[in-house]
Amino acid sequence: MSKCDQCIIRQFNSLKALGKDDLIRISGCKTSRFVQKGETLFREGESINGIFCIKDGVCKLTKLSANGKDQIVKLVVRGDLIGQRSLVSDEKSNLTAVAINDMEVCFIPKSEILHDLAKNASFSLDMLQDMAKELRVADNIIVDMAQKSVKQRLADVLIYLHETFDKDNDGFLTVVLSREDYASLVGTATESAIRILSQFKKEGLISTTGKHVKIEDLEGLRRIE
Amino acid sequence: MSKCDQCIIRQFNSLKALGKDDLIRISGCKTSRFVQKGETLFREGESINGIFCIKDGVCKLTKLSANGKDQIVKLVVRGDLIGQRSLVSDEKSNLTAVAINDMEVCFIPKSEILHDLAKNASFSLDMLQDMAKELRVADNIIVDMAQKSVKQRLADVLIYLHETFDKDNDGFLTVVLSREDYASLVGTATESAIRILSQFKKEGLISTTGKHVKIEDLEGLRRIE
DNA sequence: TTATACCTATGACAAATGTCATAAAACTAC
DNA sequence: GTAGTTTTATGACATTTGTCATAGGTATAA
C-alpha cells in the first residue's frame, strides 16, 4: 500500500498542511479503492464518515431537485478532496457522487481527520481557506445561473472543461460527458443542451464525434452572449 | 462602549467559541458603527480587512453579473458575521454589502481574528462549521436556480422571509424590499417579479400595501409549482 | 455480428420569461 | 400640499426554453 507522505496528490489539497508523522498515521488507517465509471461513490443522505481524496479520475457531485432531476453541482478532479463539509458539520451528505471516469480514491476515516483538525491549526486554516474558495465559486455559479442564458452557461462549461482537462492527440477532451450531463451542468433540458451543442458545431465553435468534444474556437465561445 | 463579552449577539455566531479574555481583548479594538438604509457597507473588490458582526438590521450581499445587473446572493441578519471568507482566503471581497434597514454593526480587525484562528481550535472549527453550512445552502440555491421556475423561487423567497423576519401588528413583514430586490433575489426581470407578486395577490396568497408585504396563505405558497 | 437498449438529433408546438412602452401610484424634497 | 422623481403595474410582443413525438445513430453484450 502506498504511503500518504510519498503521495504527490496531497500537494493539491489541504493534506499538504500535515506533517510527516501525521501523514504516516493516516496512511495506516486509510483505504484505497478503484471506482468504475458510472459507479456511485456515495448518495445524498448517506453518512460518509470520512473524506475521499481523488487520486485519479473525475466524478460529478449531484443533488436531486424538487422536480426529480439530478443537477450537477460540481465536477471533482484528481487532487480534490470530497466530504469535508459533511465531516465538519457532522451531517449526512447533501450530494451524490458518481464516477465519470474510472477512478482511484483514498478514503480517510473521520476520526483521523478530526484529530488533525483539533490539533493542527495550519491544517484547519488550510481547510477553511479551501472552503472559502468553494464558497466564492458557488456565489459565482448562483449569479451565472440567475443571469446568464442557457447558451452562455453551456459555453462557459465548455471553456471550463477546455481549461481544466487534458486533450488527446487530436485535441479532443479526455473527459467524456453525455448530453444529459451537459444539460445537468447548466441546468436545462437534455434536448436544449443537444440543440445548442449542434448549433455550436454548425458555427464551428466545437466539433464532436459521438460523445467526444473538441473546442475549435475558444475565443468564439467566450464571445457567446 | 459595550463589551463583547456582555453582548448576546455573539451567541448566534462563531464568536461564542471564544473565551472571556479573548472577547475582552477584541472589545478593545473593535469599532461600532451605524449604517443607514441604502448605505453601502463595502463593495465588491474592496479589501475588508476584518469581519462585521451584525448587531441589528438586515443587509443584502450582491454580486455584479456579466450583464451589469446586481444579483442578491444572500440576506444577512442580526447575529450573522460577514467577511469571514475574504478574511481566511486573504482576498478582496467578492460581494457588495448594502443595508436594507438601518443597521448597527461591529467591526473586528483582521489581525485580532487571525490571532484567534491560529490559537483557538474550537473557534476555527466553529467557523469551519459555519462555512460548511453556508456551502450547503449555496448548493441548494444553485439547484433551485437551475431547476425551479421563477414563480416557485419567488414563492420560496416569500416563505423564507416569513420564517426569518418579524411581522408588525397587522402581520406585515418588517423587512421591506423593493420589487427590484425581489427580482434580484430570484434572478429575474423586475417586471416579472411585479407580475408574479400581483398574481399571488389576486390568488390571495399574499397582500400588499405599497412595498409592505403580508403572507396570507403560507401553505398555498408551498404548493406553488 | 446482430439484436437490443440507450443516446443523440430534430421538428413542432406550448409555456415561461424578457423587453419595451406607457400609465398609475407612491414616495421625496421643498 | 405640490411638483418632481422614483417605483409599481400592466399590456403587447419577442425571445428563450421546455415538452412531446419520432427518427436515426452508437455502443454493448451475447
B51 within 8 A of B111, measured Cβ to Cβ: no
Find the closest chain B residue to A186 by CA distance: B146
Residue A152: its chain B contacts at CB < 8 A?
66
Instruction: Give me the domains of chain A, ranges plus CATH numbers.
Output: 4-145 (2.60.120.10), 148-223 (1.10.10.10)
* Main-chain phi, psi angles of A137, to 5 degrees: -60, -40
The one-digit pLDDT tens for each residue of chain B (225 residues) are 578 899 999 999 999 999 999 999 999 999 999 999 999 999 999 999 999 999 999 999 999 988 888 999 999 999 999 999 999 999 999 999 999 999 999 999 999 999 999 888 889 999 999 999 999 999 999 999 999 999 999 999 999 999 999 999 999 999 999 999 999 999 999 999 999 999 999 999 999 999 999 999 999 999 998
Whether A6 and chain B come into contact, CB under 8 Å, resolves to: no
Find the closest chain A residue to B152 by CA distance: A66
Residues lying close to strand D (Cβ under 7 A), chosen from 143-202 of chain A, are: 149-151, 187-189, 191-192
Per-residue flag: B25 CB under 7 A of strand C: no
Residue A63: its chain B contacts at CB < 8 A?
139-140, 143
The reported pLDDT for the residue numbered B1 is 58
Residues lying close to strand D (Cβ under 7 A), chosen from 112-151 of chain A, are: 149-151
C-alpha cell at B165: 423576519
User: Quick check: helix, strand or coil at residue A48?
Assistant: coil
Element of type H or E holding B32: strand B31-35
C-alpha dihedral, B172 to B178 to B184 to B190, nearest 10° = 120
Element of type H or E holding A81: strand A81-82
Give which of A128, A152, A156, A221 to mutate to test B binding, by max B Cβ within 10 Å.
A128
User: Quick check: helix, strand or coil at residue A2?
Assistant: coil
Helices (H), A10-109: 20-29, 84-89
* Main-chain phi, psi angles of A103, to 5 degrees: -125, 160
What is the CB neighbour count within 10 angstroms for residue A2? 12
β-pair type (B212-215, B206-209): antiparallel
The reported pLDDT for the residue numbered A1 is 58
User: Quick check: helix, strand or coil at residue B189?
Assistant: coil
**Minimal Cβ distance to B143: which of A71, A91, A146:** A71
Give which of A119, A143, A153 to mutate to test B binding, by max B Cβ within 10 Å.
A143
Q: What amino acid occupies position A179?
A: R
Tell whether ipTM is more than 0.90: yes
The one-digit pLDDT tens for each residue of chain A (225 residues) are 578 899 999 999 999 999 999 999 999 999 999 999 999 999 999 999 999 999 999 999 999 988 888 999 999 999 999 999 999 999 999 999 999 999 999 999 999 999 999 888 889 999 999 999 999 999 999 999 999 999 999 999 999 999 999 999 999 999 999 999 999 999 999 999 999 999 999 999 999 999 999 999 999 999 998
The reported pLDDT for the residue numbered B141 is 96
Residue A73: its chain B contacts at CB < 8 A?
139, 142-143
B206 within 8 A of B200, measured Cβ to Cβ: yes
Buried b (16+ CB within 10 A) or exposed e, A157-192: bbeebbeebeeeeeebbebbbebebbbbbbbbeeeb
Whether A69 and chain B come into contact, CB under 8 Å, resolves to: yes
**Location of C-alpha cell 424590499:** B177
Alpha-carbon gap, residue B124 to A165, rounded angstroms = 34
B97 within 8 A of B84, measured Cβ to Cβ: no
- The contacts of residue B202 (CB under 8 Å, 6+ apart) are none
